[in-house]
Amino acid sequence: MPFNVVSKLGQELYAEDPLLHFDKPERARRLATLIIAKAPSINAALFVAPAYGCAPEDVTLRYANVDFEVMARLSSAQDQGLLDTVSTDRQVWRRLAA
């Protein structure tokens, strides 16, 4: 399966359920496994659907290769119960708000 097909699959899954990673975490893990299998350098994926049941092409997606140091900081914060979505968003996607 080519990488663009995996991306399209992700868009279809998130169009159906924008909170897939919360509602169906096993499906999200399988998607992550496919992404890693096709592009091992990718260690972060962001799928954003504007609404439940939207068209798959309306789901925006981004991939990133997050530095090891950033991943280590995020893991440490998670272990300490200090990980929050805003700081994670800023560190991974370099956005100002989650």
Residue pLDDT, tens place only, 36-66? 999 999 999 999 999 999 999 999 999 999 9
Identify whether residues 56 and 24 lie together within a single domain. yes
Mean pLDDT along residues 66-88: 93
Domain that holds residue 94: 66-98
Identify whether residues 10 and 50 lie together within a single domain. yes
Give Cβ neighbours of residue 29 (< 8 Å, ≥ 6 apart). Answer: none
- pLDDT band per the 50, 70, 90 thresholds, residue 96: low
Identify whether residues 79 and 95 lie together within a single domain. yes
Q: And the tokens for 50?
A: 């504007």
Interatomic CA distance for residues 40 and 48, integer angstroms: 22
Ramachandran area for residue 60 (φ above 0: left; ψ -120 to 50: alpha; else beta) = beta
Identify whether residues 31 and 61 lie together within a single domain. yes
pTM of the shown model? 0.84
Identify whether residues 73 and 55 lie together within a single domain. no
Which letter does DSSP use for residue 50 in this model? S
Residues 42 and 63: beta-carbon distance below 8 Å: yes
Identify whether residues 10 and 32 lie together within a single domain. yes
Q: And the tokens for 77?
A: 């914060």
